């Protein structure tokens, strides 16, 4: 019997497993572009639980599961008993007897951990306050498509040390690259919350320009993540100097890419000139959510095919 595999944090996968998922991503993406039918997950059902809003994650998982021949069911907090206090463990017991794989977008990481501990089927983290592993898989696949291996490269993270930042840091540990992080002083990385083994994978910079110097990839995200809306006003003030602009891109490597997980706020964390400019790969990055997650669903349900 194979052991149950979840994807709750990026470090749940080894470098070898990520390489395998990327290998499958390329095959699955190429087939999709050729309109070739590929239905390895027929009769399988993906349950998607959303306790926060989403465009890309919902669409890519739902479309992806259908494209693989399976079905996807969307549940949100309002429509399910989870929103009325049914214990997460009880919900997991029931749901995982009816569905073959579960994707959850929620607040605390402990919720997805608790669900997974009570689940008979694989569980995927579709974003928590702490991590966003599917996003970083797609981002690194996008880098790989454009520039080759990320090993030994430098990524500049500008802005909040949020779920997306934490996941970049885990990826740096697993895949052996460096992240230059620049945050306002009161929003620094918390290595324990980021789930890091050490602190070798990243370097902190007070000045975002210094963090961008020579970087192969410059990336950022919203100043206020979902669930932190009450802090919006103070964050807008604190992050005012952490807007990725053309000057930052100019000090990065000449062929540096710009990424943003989206949705973006032009004029806040990034200028329109950068996100709509020639170094930006945000649309490829968003599209790759679909292809990478199809490979992820295939891997978690069927193993190495």
- Residue 166 binds ligand CP, judged by CB under 6 A: no
Using CB distances below 5 to 8 A depending on partner kind, what does residue 164 bind out of ligand NVA, ligand CP, none? ligand NVA
Comparison of 163 and 293: residue with beta carbon closer to ligand NVA: 163
**Which DSSP string do the residues of 121-170 spell out, in sequence order?**
S-EEE---SS--HHHHHHHHHHHHHHHS--TT-EEEEES---HHHHHHHH
Distance CA 134, CA 7 (A): 9
Using CB distances below 5 to 8 A depending on partner kind, what does residue 167 bind out of ligand NVA, ligand CP, none? none
Using CB distances below 5 to 8 A depending on partner kind, what does residue 221 bind out of ligand CP, ligand NVA, none? ligand NVA
- Residue 138 binds ligand NVA, judged by CB under 6 A: no
Q: How far is CA 86 from CA 92, 111, 117, 124, in A?
A: 10, 12, 16, 20
Helix (H) or strand (E) holding 267: none
**CA angle (63 as vertex; 281, 228 as ends), nearest 5:** 65
Binding map of ligand CP across residues 180-209, x = CB under 6 A, - = no contact: ------------------------------
Distance CA 214, CA 152 (A): 13
Question: Min. distance of Cβ 166 from ligand NVA in angstroms?
Answer: 10
Distance CA 34, CA 96 (A): 34
Active site annotation includes 43: no
Using CB distances below 5 to 8 A depending on partner kind, what does residue 63 bind out of ligand CP, ligand NVA, none? none
Strand ranges of the sheet holding 123-125, from the earlier edge strand across to the other edge: 71-76, 45-50, 101-105, 123-125
Query: Tokens 């000090």 belong to which residue?
Result: 251
Tokens representing 83? Answer: 């929103």
Question: Min. distance of Cβ 24 from ligand CP in angstroms?
Answer: 21
Active site annotation includes 265: no
Q: Are strands 45-50 and 71-76 parallel, antiparallel or unpaired?
A: parallel
Distance CA 305, CA 184 (A): 45
- Residue 221 binds ligand NVA, judged by CB under 6 A: yes
Counting beta carbons within 10 angstroms of the beta carbon of residue 218, is it exposed (0 to 12), middle (13 to 18) or buried (19 or more)? buried
- Residue 54 binds ligand CP, judged by CB under 6 A: yes
Active site annotation includes 266: no
Strand ranges of the sheet holding 202-204, from the earlier edge strand across to the other edge: 202-204, 178-182, 154-158, 217-220, 257-260
Comparison of 54 and 253: residue with beta carbon closer to ligand CP: 54
Active site annotation includes 66: no
Within 119-158, which residues bind ligand CP (CB under 6 A)? 127, 135
Active site annotation includes 261: yes
- Residue 137 binds ligand NVA, judged by CB under 6 A: no
Comparison of 54 and 182: residue with beta carbon closer to ligand CP: 54
Span of 5-13, 157-165, 176-184, 278-286 interacting with ligand NVA by CB under 6 A: 157-165
Tokens representing 183? Answer: 């945050």
Binding map of ligand NVA across residues 223-252, x = CB under 6 A, - = no contact: --xx--------------------------
In sequence order, the 6+-apart residues with CB closer than 8 A to the CB of 284 are 142, 145, 146
Active site annotation includes 24: no
Catalytic, out of 44, 221, 235, 260 = 221
Contact positions toward ligand CP, by CB under 6 A? 54-57, 127, 135, 261-262
Contact positions toward ligand NVA, by CB under 6 A? 127, 162-164, 221-222, 225-226, 261
Active-site residue set: 105, 132, 135, 221, 261, 289
């Amino acid at each position: 019997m194979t052991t149950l595999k979840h994807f709750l944090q990026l470090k749940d996968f080894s470098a070898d497993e990520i390489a395998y998922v990327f290998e499958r991503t390329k095959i699955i993406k190429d087939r999709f572009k050729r309109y070739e039918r590929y239905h390895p997950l027929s009769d399988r059902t993906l349950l998607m639980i959303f306790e926060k809003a989403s465009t890309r994650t919902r669409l890519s998982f739902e479309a992806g599961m259908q494209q693989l021949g399976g079905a996807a069911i969307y549940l949100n907090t309002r429509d399910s008993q989870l929103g009325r206090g049914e214990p997460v463990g009880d919900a997991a017991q029931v749901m995982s007897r009816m569905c073959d794989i579960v994707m959850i977008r929620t607040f605390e990481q402990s919720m997805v951990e608790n669900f997974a501990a009570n689940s008979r089927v694989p569980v995927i983290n579709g974003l928590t306050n702490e991590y966003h592993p599917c996003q970083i898989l797609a981002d690194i696949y996008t880098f790989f498509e454009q520039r080759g291996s990320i090993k030994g490269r430098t990524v500049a993270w500008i802005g909040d040390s949020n779920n997306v930042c934490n996941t970049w840091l885990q990826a740096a540990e697993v895949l052996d690259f460096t992240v230059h992080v620049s945050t306002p002083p009161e929003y620094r990385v918390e290595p324990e919350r980021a789930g890091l083994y050490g602190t070798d994978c990243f370097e902190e910079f007070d000045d975002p320009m210094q963090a961008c110097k020579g970087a192969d990839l410059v990336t950022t995200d919203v100043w206020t993540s979902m669930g932190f809306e009450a802090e919006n006003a103070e964050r807008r003030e604190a992050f005012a100097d952490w807007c990725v602009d053309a000057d930052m891109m100019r000090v990065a490597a000449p062929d540096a890419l710009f990424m943003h997980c989206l949705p973006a706020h032009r004029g806040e964390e990034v200028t329109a000139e950068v996100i709509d400019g020639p170094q930006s790969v945000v649309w490829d990055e968003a599209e790759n959510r679909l292809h990478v997650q199809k490979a992820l669903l295939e891997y978690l349900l069927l193993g190495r095919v």
